[in-house]
Amino acid sequence: MSAHNDDCLFCRLIRGEIPSAVVYENEQVYAFLDINPVSRGHVLIVPRDHAETLFDMRPGADAALLDAMRKVGRAVMLATGAEGLNVVQNNYKAAGQEVPHVHWHLIPRHAGDGHSPWPHGNYADTEEMGAVAAAIKSAL
């Protein structure tokens, strides 16, 4: 029996209390169409166990999710004729997370579709870059 949260939209959807266009499910994972797709065939894939973000998940669930992402991602590309696939995962509101049940977006992409994410910036110099890398390493 998976841990669920009665107030959580995706837990309710996994339990069938809210309808969804399911594309794949197994004991650990549930995958369904995003109701407001970035592109046709945009899938959300979620662990059945309720966890708010990536950082709240039980480590043991990772392998099953990655396997399911490859399986469903391949099928999404074949079914939509996509030439590429973005896998996107948002944690916390500041990063755009709207539904607090961890999920991965599988977004089919076509050349020239204009959906390319995020403008890239740059570091002032290698010293600044080194300082940022050092801060991350010391936080590990």
Q: Around 101, how many Cα atoms within 13 Å sit in the side-chain half-sphere?
A: 21
- 3-state class (DSSP) for residue 9: helix
Site residues (CB under 5 A) for Zn ion, limited to 42-101: 50, 101
Judged by beta carbon, residue 20 or residue 86, the one nearer ligand 5GP is 20
Query: Are residues 39 and 108 in contact, defined by beta-carbon separation less than 8 angstroms?
Result: yes
Query: Are residues 46 and 10 in contact, defined by beta-carbon separation less than 8 angstroms?
Result: yes
Stretch that binds ligand 5GP, among 46-54, 71-79, 94-102, 131-139 (CB under 6 A): 94-102
Helices (H) and strands (E) in the chain, counts: 3, 5
Stretch that binds ligand 5GP, among 48-56, 63-71, 96-104, 117-125 (CB under 6 A): 96-104
Taking Cα atoms as reference points, which of 7, 62, 54, 5 lies closest to residue 29?
62
Q: Is 34 in the site for ligand 5GP (CB under 6 A)?
A: yes
Q: Is 107 in the site for Zn ion (CB under 5 A)?
A: no
Q: Is 20 in the site for ligand 5GP (CB under 6 A)?
A: yes
Binding residues vs Zn ion (CB under 5 A):
5, 8, 10-11, 50, 101
Binding residues vs ligand 5GP (CB under 6 A):
9, 20, 32-36, 44, 90, 96-99
